[in-house]
Chain A
Amino acid sequence: MKARRERKFVLLFLAALVALPVAQWYADLAVGVAPTGAGLVRRPPTTAHLRAVEAEFAAAAARNPYARALAALPGLAWLRGQASPVLEGRVVADEPWLFYRPDVRLVSQRPAPAVQARAVPAILDWHRQLAARGVRLVVVVAPLKPALLTDRVARRFTVGVAAWRAPETAAVLGTLRTAGVEVVDLPAVFAALPAPGLAEEPWYEPADTHWSQRGLHVAADAIIDAIGWARIPGVYQVREEMVLRPADLERLRAASVVDERRPKEACLVVADAQGRAPATPPAGAEVLLLGDSFCRIFEEGEVTGAGLRSQLAWRLGRPVGLIRQDGGGATLVRQELARHPERLRGVKVLVWEFAERDLLAAETEWAKVELPR
C-alpha cells in the first residue's frame, strides 16, 4: 500500500514537471513558432547564446497555458492580486492616488551618484555654448510627484505634509548656480508653499505623473519671475474650460480608457486675438522652451493651448517656441536643437525643462551635445 502510494506520488510529481515543456511545445506549435529551446542545438553553447536561450525560455513562458493556469490558482491569484499594485506593478496605488513606482523609489531608495556627476558637466557645457551665442539659459527642474505629495502615497499618512526635496537635486542646482547658470528650482518653489488640503486641487494630477493646472501655474509663474520680462498686454487672452484628459498612470495600470469617474479639470486655455491656441513659431521667437512630457500636458491631445508653452506665452505676451520629447528632457531635446540650429535664430532666452527623475535615475543619459558653429 505504502509502495503504491509512493509510486503514484512520484508519477504525479514528475508529470507535473514534464507538463511544463509539453504545454510549452504545444503552445509553440499552436502559434507556429519553433519549439522553445531549439536555439540551444542550433547555436554553439557560448555564454552569450546561453543567456539568449534563457531569455527565449522566459519570453515563451508567457504563452505556456499550463504555467498560466497554475499562476491563476486561487491562493496565488489572491497573493498576486494583493501584490501586483504594491510590489510587482509599476504603479503604487492608494485610490484615487497613483504613483509611478520608480519615482517612489527615487525618494525612498539611495540614488545612483554617477548620474549627478554626468549631469553637471553636460549642463555647464550647454550653458557655455548658449552663452557664446548670446542666449540666456534658464534651467527648470520639474519635481517628482511622490516627493511633492508624500502624504498621498498611503492613506494612513497625515495630509498636508510639506514637499520633500532630494538633497542630490539641491546639490546639483547649487553647483549650477555657483557656476552662473540661472536655475528655477521648482522642487524648492513647491516646498516653500503650504501643502494643499484634501479638498483643494493638488499640484499634480492624482492619476498622472505630471502636474495639474494648479501646479502648472506655480511653475509658469516661477519661470516668468526668473526671466524677469514685463508682459506685453493684449496679445493673448484666456478662458476656462473643463477638461477630462487621459492620465498616464491610469493607462499604465492597464485601463486603456479615460476613467469617466474622475472629476474634470478646470483649464486656463490661452488663445490669440482670433481665438486660436498660440502658434509655435518655427523660428524667430525670443523665448524657446525645451522640455519633456511636462511640456506636452495640456498642450496636446484633449486640450490644447493650456500647457507650459501657452502659459508662458500668455504671461510674456510673446510667442514661445517649443522642442519637446517625452522622456528626453535631459539629452534628446538638445540633440534635436543641434539638428535644427535655425530654431535658435532670434532666441534670447532658452528655457530648458527636464524632470527631477533625470537627475536621480541611474539610467538617464546626460550626453554633451555640440551645437553647430
Chain B
Amino acid sequence: MVFASPIFLGYFLPLVLAGYYLLPAAGPARNRWLLGASYVFYGWWDPRLVPALFVLTLATFGLARWLGREDLPEGRRRLGLAVGVGLALAVLFVGKYLGFAFDNYDRLAAALGWAPAPATRWALPLGISFFTFHAISTLVDVHRRDAKPMASLVDFACYLAFFPQLIAGPILRFGAIAPAYAERRHSWARFSSGLALFSLGLAKKVIIANTLAPAADLAFAARELDAPTAWFGLVAYGLQLYYDFSGYSDMATGLARLFGFEFPRNFNAPYLAESITDFWRRWHISLGGFLRDYLYIPLGGNRRSPTRTALNLLLVMVLGGLWHGAAWTFVAWGLWHGTLLVAERWLGGRAWYEDLPRFLRVLATFVLVLLGWVFFRAESLAAAGDYFAALVRFDGTGGAPVRLLGAELFALPHVLILVLGLALMWSRRRAHEWSGHLSRRRAVLCLLLLLLSLGLLSTQRPNPFLYFQF
C-alpha cells in the first residue's frame, strides 16, 4: 500500500484516523491501534514479512531493556550492543545484500572455475533498510545512555513499525522520538498542519514526480542519446527523485502530525546548496545525521589525521551509497560524493567554485549532483558510462532512435512540469514551515492541491515511491 493510492487515501487513512480518535487518549489503546494499523499496512505488501518484523522487534526490545540496566558491567553492555547491532545488520544483509554477494561470487567463480553459489534469490523486503536502522538507533542510544529503553513492548513495536515512516523513513532517532510514544499532544492546529503538509507532499508526488517519471524512464532506457535528450532526461530524473522523496517525506511527516508526532525535517531545499558539503546538510537529512552520528564519528570523524578523515568520509559515503541498493552503481555514487566531499574538505570546507556568484555556485553544485544521479539511476556502470558520453554528444549525429526519443521526451507536459519543478526548487518556501501557519489562502490551496492530486491519481498507473526500492 502506498500513500499516493486510492486504497490508502480513501479507505485505510480515514479508518485508522477514526479508530484512533474514538479510542481514549489515556492508556495504551491508541498505540495498540496504531501498531495494528502499521502491521496491516506492512502486511498489505506481503503478510509473511510481518512475523519477521515482529521477531526483530522482540529481539531489539529485549536487548535494549537489558542494555538499559544500570547494574550491567560495561563489557557486557558492549557485547550486548555488538550482538544487537550485528543481528540488525545480519537481517539487513540477508534481506538486501545476499543476492548481490551471490551474484558477485558467481562472476568470480565462473572465472576461477569454482562451484556457483546457491540459486536462491528473493525480493527485497520493503522498508528493511529503515526498520533495521531504527533498531540500531535504539540499541546505540540506549547503550550511550542517551535514552532509556521503552517499558512497553507495544510502544516499541509501534516505534519500529509506525506506518508513516516504516517503508521509506525519515530515519528517526530513538532518543528523540521515544518520549512521544508515552505522551504526545493532539490539537486542531497540529492536525490541520499535518493535513496541509500531507497535501503538499501528495501534490509533489502525483503532479510533479509522476509526470516527470516517464521522461526519466525514457532517457535512461534509451537506445541512443545525444546531449539535449541526455541532459533533459537527467534533469527530469533529478527533479523526479527530489519531488518523489521529499513528497514522501512531507506526507510521512504530515501523517505523523495527525497522530500527534513530530518528525524531523528530511529535506531543506537541497538543490539550492552551494557546495556538496552544503548539499549533504540539506538532502535526506535523517540519513546523513544517522551516518554521521553512528558511523562517521565512531570511526574517528575529523579528529584524526587528514588522510584518516578523508578515508572515513569515503567509507561513510560508500556505505551510504550501498545502503541505497545492492549494486556497484550505488558504490560508484557513494564514491563520487565521497571524493567531492574530501576535495572540499582539503580546500578548507569550501567548494572549488566558492568565488563564483551565488547563482553559479548553486548551478555548479546542481550539475555535480546531477552527474552523481547518473550512477544512481543507471542499470550498470557500463550504462552509466554511456550516459556520461551522451551528455557531451553535441555533434548532432543522433539517428532515428534519438529523434523518436526526442518526440516523446520534449512533449509539452514534460517541459511544463520540468519548468514548474525548477521554479519551485528556486523558491524560498519550505513545506515544513509553510504548512505550520495555515492562512485561509493556504488552506484553500491545500484543498485544491488535494483535489487535483486525487483527480490525477485516478488517471495514473500505479507508481510507487522511488525510495521504496531502497
Using a CB–CB distance below 8 Å, which chain A residues touch chain B? 2-3, 5-10, 12-14, 16-18, 20-21, 24, 37, 45-47, 50, 54, 57-58, 61, 64, 67-68, 70-73, 75-76, 79-80, 82-83, 86-88, 92, 94, 104-105, 107-111, 146-147, 150-151, 153-154, 157, 161, 164
Knowing A47-B47, A164-B399, the reply to whether A108 touches B447 (Cβ < 8 A) is: no
Q: Which residues of A contact B406 (CB under 8 A)?
A: 154
Q: A67 contacts B458, CB within 8 Å?
A: yes
Q: Is B301 an interface residue (CB 8 A)?
A: no
Q: Which residues of B contact A3 (CB under 8 A)?
A: 188-189
Q: B446 contacts A14, CB within 8 Å?
A: no
Q: Is B407 an interface residue (CB 8 A)?
A: yes
Indicate with 1 or 0, residue by residue over B1-44, a CB within 8 angstroms of chain A CB atoms: 00000110111011001000000000000000000000000011
Q: How far is the CB of B163 from chain A (nearest CB, A)?
A: 16
Q: Which residues of B contact A82 (CB under 8 A)?
A: 411-413
Q: B188 contacts A10, CB within 8 Å?
A: yes
Q: Give the residue of B214, B400, B401, B458 whose beta carbon is less than 8 angstroms from that of A68.
A: B458
Q: Give the residue of B14, B189, B446, B456 whose beta carbon is less than 8 angstroms from that of A17.
A: B14
Q: Is B158 an interface residue (CB 8 A)?
A: no
Tell which of B104-112, B191-199, B239-247 binds the partner. B191-199
Bound complex: CA of A50 vs CA of B458, how far in Å? 20
Q: Which residues of A contact B451 (CB under 8 A)?
A: 16, 70, 73
Q: Is B430 an interface residue (CB 8 A)?
A: no
Q: B459 contacts A45, CB within 8 Å?
A: no
Q: Which residues of A contact B189 (CB under 8 A)?
A: 2-3, 6
Bound complex: CA of A21 vs CA of B15, how far in Å? 11
Q: A110 contacts B223, CB within 8 Å?
A: yes
Which residue of A has the minimal Cβ distance to B406? A154
Knowing A13-B195, A13-B199, A86-B412, the reply to whether A46 touches B399 (Cβ < 8 A) is: no
Q: Which residues of A contact B45 (CB under 8 A)?
A: 47, 50
Q: A57 contacts B7, CB within 8 Å?
A: yes
Q: B47 contacts A108, CB within 8 Å?
A: no
Knowing A45-B47, A47-B48, A64-B458, the reply to whether A107 touches B401 (Cβ < 8 A) is: yes
Q: A109 contacts B6, CB within 8 Å?
A: no
Mostly helix, strand, loop or mixed at chain B's interface? helix
Q: How far is the CB of B404 from chain A (nearest CB, A)?
A: 4
Q: Which residues of A contact B62 (CB under 8 A)?
A: none
Listed residue (B196, B223, B414) with the most chain A CB atoms within 10 angstroms of its CB = B223
Q: Is B403 an interface residue (CB 8 A)?
A: yes
Q: How far is the CB of B434 from chain A (nearest CB, A)?
A: 14
Q: A75 contacts B452, CB within 8 Å?
A: yes
A-B contacts counted at CB < 8 A amount to: 166
Q: A9 contacts B447, CB within 8 Å?
A: yes
Bound complex: CA of A86 vs CA of B417, how far in Å? 14
Q: A20 contacts B407, CB within 8 Å?
A: no
Bound complex: CA of A353 vs CA of B217, how far in Å? 33
Which residue of B has the minimal Cβ distance to A16? B450
19 pairs, A vs B, C-beta closer than 8 Å: A9-B438, A9-B443, A16-B454, A17-B13, A20-B9, A20-B10, A54-B7, A61-B6, A67-B454, A67-B455, A70-B452, A80-B459, A82-B411, A94-B407, A146-B404, A150-B400, A154-B403, A157-B403, A161-B400
Q: How far is the CB of B254 from chain A (nearest CB, A)?
A: 11
Q: How far is the CB of A155 from chain B (nearest CB, A)?
A: 10
Q: B455 contacts A70, CB within 8 Å?
A: yes
Q: Which residues of B contact A110 (CB under 8 A)?
A: 221-223
Knowing A13-B199, A67-B454, the reply to whether A7 touches B408 (Cβ < 8 A) is: no
Q: Which residues of A contact B17 (CB under 8 A)?
A: 14
Q: A18 contacts B14, CB within 8 Å?
A: yes
Q: Which residues of A contact B411 (CB under 8 A)?
A: 82-83, 86-87
- The 7 residue pairs across chains A and B that have the minimum distance between CB atoms: A20-B10, A70-B455, A164-B400, A67-B458, A150-B400, A86-B411, A6-B192
Bound complex: CA of A88 vs CA of B456, how far in Å? 12
Q: A108 contacts B405, CB within 8 Å?
A: yes
Q: Which residues of B contact A151 (CB under 8 A)?
A: 403
Q: A24 contacts B10, CB within 8 Å?
A: yes
Bound complex: CA of A111 vs CA of B46, how far in Å? 32
Listed residue (B199, B458, B462) with the most chain A CB atoms within 10 angstroms of its CB = B458
Bound complex: CA of A80 vs CA of B400, how far in Å? 27
Q: Which residues of B contact A46 (CB under 8 A)?
A: 47
Which residue of B has the minimal Cβ distance to A66? B454
Knowing A76-B452, A79-B413, A108-B218, the reply to whether A70 touches B223 (Cβ < 8 A) is: no
Which residue of A has the minimal Cβ distance to B453? A70
Q: B459 contacts A17, CB within 8 Å?
A: no
Q: Which residues of B contact A64 (CB under 8 A)?
A: 458
Q: A109 contacts B221, CB within 8 Å?
A: yes
Q: Is B428 an interface residue (CB 8 A)?
A: no
Q: How far is the CB of A84 from chain B (nearest CB, A)?
A: 9
